[in-house]
Structure 1
Amino acid sequence: MEKHGTTSIVDGWKKTHYKPGLGWANDLAEQDWQRIQNESRRLGDNSSSEISDEYDVMKHALRERCGHIRGEQQMREQVQQDVQAQMNENLHKMQADFARQFEEMRQPFQQQKDSQNEEEESESD
Structure 2
Amino acid sequence: MTRILAVDDSPSMRDMVRIALTSAGFDVTSASDGQEALDLARQSGFDLVLSDVNMPVMDGIQLIRALRAESAYRHTPILMLTTEAGPDRKKEGKDAGATGWIVKPFDPAQLVATMHRVLR
TM-score with structure 1 setting the length: 0.26
Which structure dedicates a bigger proportion of its chain to strand?
2
TM-score of the superposed pair, with normalisation by structure 2: 0.27
Q: Could you say which structure has the larger radius of gyration?
A: 1
Q: Which has the higher contact order (CA 8 A, sep 6+)?
A: 2
Which structure features the higher share of helix residues? Answer: 1
